[in-house]
Structure 1
Amino acid sequence: MITQSASLLKSLRQEAVALFREGVAAANPEQAVAAALVKRRAMFEQASRIVLVAFGKAACPMAQAAMPFVRGRLLTAIALTNHENLEPIDGVEVIAGGHPIPDEGSIAGAAAIEDAVSRAQDDDLVLVLVSGGGSALLCAPPAGVELADKIALNNALIRCGADISEINAVRPIFSRLKGGQMARLAGKARVLSLILSDVPGDDIATIASGPTAWPRNSASRALEVLDKYGLWQNLPDALKRRLEQMGASPDATAIDFDNVENIVIGSNAISVRAVIGKAEAKFGSVFHASDWLEGNVLDAAAELHRIARIAAERNGPVAVVCGGETTVKVKGNGKGGRNQELAMCFALLNELKPIDRQWVFLSGGTDGLDGPTDAAGGIVDAGSPDWMRQLGHDPVCSLENNDSYHALACSGDLLITGATGTNVADIQIVLMR
């Protein structure tokens, strides 16, 4: 194993964290909302009244940024966010719900949003502010489906290894608001939806399960996903009955989308470009590893490690940057998240085929929260696995038990940023000197 200078490693770690923060800053929800609304002042002036609803991890800063544009015509304003990002806002009813698993707050917040949107009249404007985490938070189960059923479904989906597109193909079937149903509630009122994207390709039908997007979901597609991951057999009876009742796709023709405008104002791609720009200024040589990193964490780590070994052949400082969202199939009972597991997999793969350079690898969630932990992810180097072993954590056994959090904590390799107030998926950075 290459001996790495402590001072160099410290410098590389600091630079990796600084670059990650640049990516988070590029998804600043307040700036993105304000920039979009400045261009649409006429829309607000033409509205008789305005209904403001925001949901997701960035709901509070997005609603705060919108308030100067809607005061004077505001009928009601609701913001639904996760507990970690809850902030009071003058003139806005702010409600905290559970993420990634919905709770009673999610039910209450969704009901308040449903009531607010349904009050809109023909000459009104409904301003919808959507951000990552919105699908889990906006919990509005249909008749016959209880919160416990939704929790069981969400638990199964996020632990089985399904990607976000597959998860959000299932969720709208069991909701009164997702899959275009919020647009239906607005009737003939004009709808403007500003969206922070946390999904590949910025597909508005997938982001937060597309509450204002033309619905593409069907019971058959949901069943396909449930069957793929072996979830149908253990599905609560109420959910099975719901699927049987749906039978075919929701009636999209009953929704008038001529009055709906969906605009993506921030995304993972924008954040990754910001990181690449800063990395080029500092490191010169930058590899953009992937437009969207996805799939199982071990496969994703192997691909990134392969690219890093190729990049290491270049002279001088080198950076490898990408973004996306990997998946973890949970088999153990440990604590961790996909970014923490990705970092550990990368470090362990390096023991088998070492990178012939001094390096650090960072993988972090732009929301600052990786899985059910207080860490955004992990930041490792070639010595990380040895530190874990010396301090009593076998990294291989920890991964098998999905216990990356405690292994990274003992080696000082957790990436802790706190909740950031935004969410545009994950960013991965490799730095070498």
Structure 2
Amino acid sequence: MHQRELLRGMFDAAVGSALPHRCVPPHLPAPPKGRTIVVGAGKAAASMAQAVERHWQGDIEGVVVTRYGHAVPCGRIRVLEAAHPVPDQAGVAAARAILDTVSGLTAEDLVLCLISGGGSALLPALPDGVSLADEQALARALLRSGATIAEMNRVRRHVSLIKGGRLAAAASPARVETLIISDVPGDDPAIVASGPTVVDGSTPQDALAIIAKYGLEVPAGVQSWLEGPGCAPPTNLPNSRVTMVATAQMALEAAADVAARAGCTPLILGNAIEGEAGTVGLVHAGIVRQIRGHGQPVKCPCVLLSGGETTVTVRGNGRGGRNGEFLLGLLAGLGDMTGVSALAADTDGIDGTQDNAGAIIDAGTMARAGRLKPDACLRANDAYGFFQATGDLLVTGPTLTNVNDFRAILIEEPEAR
């Protein structure tokens, strides 16, 4: 199998393992005596709702919100769309619709909550004194800061009337069953979409500490809310249960099976790797050099697999996301080494704010780059420009799921000398 075909086959297997029609139905709860209400948020929310509709026995109703362009047809569950990664007015309306939908329920009712990555931006339930413009400014500041997803969502949880378990509290006394497609390192349900049905153990002071750590300038309304009495998150949600239905580890294992069938030894380096994207790429290049030079920790031919969510500290004026920046770091670290190809992409189909999922590099990438240099493009945050020039962009469109970043590095036997 050609290197690019093998890399794409592994990526497709990883994404396929997390598609809602495959991972949601086995985890559906038993129907309740009362009503079944479906709510949800995230890039996979609409496709998860569709999977529920196709397999649910009995009446069902509700509303979910997903990113623009990620909607799929549903018959009984209303699908709304809103902006991501910076929230908009449609998101405000969607958050209000979800809170209204779960109000006035009884102990005999069931709320089935469908959560996936992207839900934080799609659920801007604004506290008193915080405007949509404030929420948007906060989102932009966090996205540019280099903060981890856990840190960003810890702040977001405390500037919300729906996150940090507040959705489950609003649904009380109904039973709440949450199905999660996890896009965060470590699969902490309190971090995915900022945990609307999960007890939050952090405090507003923790959020303020993160703001101070990164020197963020946040709107006065946000600062006042965090410093004031605020809206304390629930500390006990006895009727709320969470189930992870798809994770990065599951996706990596599916990709490893493809590699093994192709005769390459798979080595999963980790499902929760974080750090500055370009630096993580350099570290992976170091591992490649150890394998090619010493056959450690695995011999060629092999595939290095990893997942998680790296970060990008924006300093330049270029275009591109963290997976493109990872590949630029990898290229810079590999230098003129041959026999190495790689794919890095976001499993939701969108890397950063452009139209590509990521990129694929091979032995011809540097030749096609001409005068473009990986390290210079990395400093300019212009991964998109680099891989657009080389013809290496990976464009898939929305995949309707999201288990975060996927990285595969194929290392072939060194050429005989």
TM-score, normalised on structure 1?
Answer: 0.90
Look up the match of 1:31. Answer: 22
For the Cα contact (< 8 Å) 1:182–1:212, is it kept in 2?
A: yes
Structure 1: 5+ residue stretches without partners: 1-7
For the Cα contact (< 8 Å) 2:278–2:378, is it kept in 1?
A: no
Shift of 1:244: 1.1
Look up the match of 2:261. Answer: 281
Once the two structures are superposed, residues 85-142 of structure 1 have per-residue CA deviations (whole angstroms, 9 ceiling, x without a partner) of 1223112211111111111121111111111011322211101000111111111111
In the alignment, does 2:97 pair up with 1:112? Answer: yes
2:232 maps to which of 245, 250, 257: 250
Look up the match of 1:229. Answer: 214
Look up the match of 1:240. Answer: 223
For the Cα contact (< 8 Å) 2:53–2:74, is it kept in 1?
A: no
Once the two structures are superposed, residues 257-312 of structure 1 have per-residue CA deviations (whole angstroms, 9 ceiling, x without a partner) of 22111111110111011111221221332222223221011221122111112222
For the Cα contact (< 8 Å) 2:315–2:379, is it kept in 1?
A: yes
In the alignment, does 2:165 pair up with 1:174? Answer: no
Shift of 1:84: 2.1
2:108 maps to which of 104, 123, 134: 123
Separation of aligned partners in 1, 2:384 and 2:111 = 41
In the alignment, does 2:300 pair up with 1:320? Answer: no
Look up the match of 1:136. Answer: 121
- 1:319 is paired with a residue whose SS is strand
For the Cα contact (< 8 Å) 2:305–2:409, is it kept in 1?
A: yes
Look up the match of 2:322. Answer: 338
Shift of 1:394: 4.1
For the Cα contact (< 8 Å) 2:50–2:72, is it kept in 1?
A: no
1:398 maps to which of 377, 386, 392: 377
Shift of 1:341: 0.8
Look up the match of 1:295. Answer: 275
1:385 maps to which of 360, 366, 387: 366
Separation of aligned partners in 2, 1:206 and 1:115 = 23
Once the two structures are superposed, residues 375-407 of structure 1 have per-residue CA deviations (whole angstroms, 9 ceiling, x without a partner) of 0111113442342234xx443332222111011
Shift of 1:217: 2.3
Look up the match of 2:59. Answer: 73
Q: Which has the higher helix share?
A: 1
For the Cα contact (< 8 Å) 1:54–1:80, is it kept in 2?
A: yes
For the Cα contact (< 8 Å) 2:281–2:329, is it kept in 1?
A: yes
1:368 maps to which of 340, 349, 353: 349
1:61 maps to which of 24, 28, 47: 47
Shift of 1:69: 4.9
Shift of 1:71: 6.0
Look up the match of 1:212. Answer: 197
Shift of 1:65: 1.1
Q: How do 1:399-418 and structure 2 match up within 5 A?
A: 399-418=378-397
Shift of 1:215: 1.3
Which letter maps to 2:24?
V
Which letter maps to 1:308?
V
Give the paired residue count.
408
For the Cα contact (< 8 Å) 1:344–1:380, is it kept in 2?
A: no
Look up the match of 2:289. Answer: 309
Shift of 1:316: 4.5
Separation of aligned partners in 1, 2:39 and 2:125 = 15
Over 3 Å counting, the alpha-carbon distance change for 1:428 and 1:88 in structure 2 is: same
Shift of 1:228: 0.8
For the Cα contact (< 8 Å) 1:196–1:264, is it kept in 2?
A: yes
Structure 2: 5+ residue stretches without partners: 413-417
1:349 maps to which of 323, 333, 336: 333
Over 3 Å counting, the alpha-carbon distance change for 1:316 and 1:301 in structure 2 is: closer
Which letter maps to 1:225?
I
Over 3 Å counting, the alpha-carbon distance change for 1:316 and 1:306 in structure 2 is: closer
Which letter maps to 1:32?
C
Over 3 Å counting, the alpha-carbon distance change for 1:251 and 1:78 in structure 2 is: closer
For the Cα contact (< 8 Å) 1:291–1:322, is it kept in 2?
A: yes
Shift of 1:428: 0.6
- 1:418 is paired with a residue whose SS is coil
Look up the match of 1:150. Answer: 135
Q: How do 1:254-269 and structure 2 match up within 5 A?
A: 255=236, 257-269=237-249
Over 3 Å counting, the alpha-carbon distance change for 1:316 and 1:299 in structure 2 is: closer
Look up the match of 2:415. Answer: none
**Mean CA deviation greater in 61-70 or 121-130:** 61-70
Percent identity at matched positions? 37
Once the two structures are superposed, residues 23-62 of structure 1 have per-residue CA deviations (whole angstroms, 9 ceiling, x without a partner) of 000111122111111xx33xx1x33111111210111110
Separation of aligned partners in 2, 1:62 and 1:279 = 28
Look up the match of 1:3. Answer: none
- 2:24 is paired with a residue whose SS is helix
Separation of aligned partners in 2, 1:429 and 1:246 = 47
For the Cα contact (< 8 Å) 1:53–1:129, is it kept in 2?
A: yes
TM-score, normalised on structure 2?
Answer: 0.94
Separation of aligned partners in 2, 1:189 and 1:235 = 36
2:68 maps to which of 83, 94, 105: 83
**Mean CA deviation greater in 379-388 or 274-283:** 379-388
For the Cα contact (< 8 Å) 2:197–2:240, is it kept in 1?
A: yes
- 2:370 is paired with a residue whose SS is helix
Shift of 1:193: 0.4
Once the two structures are superposed, residues 319-344 of structure 1 have per-residue CA deviations (whole angstroms, 9 ceiling, x without a partner) of 11111110000011211100011111
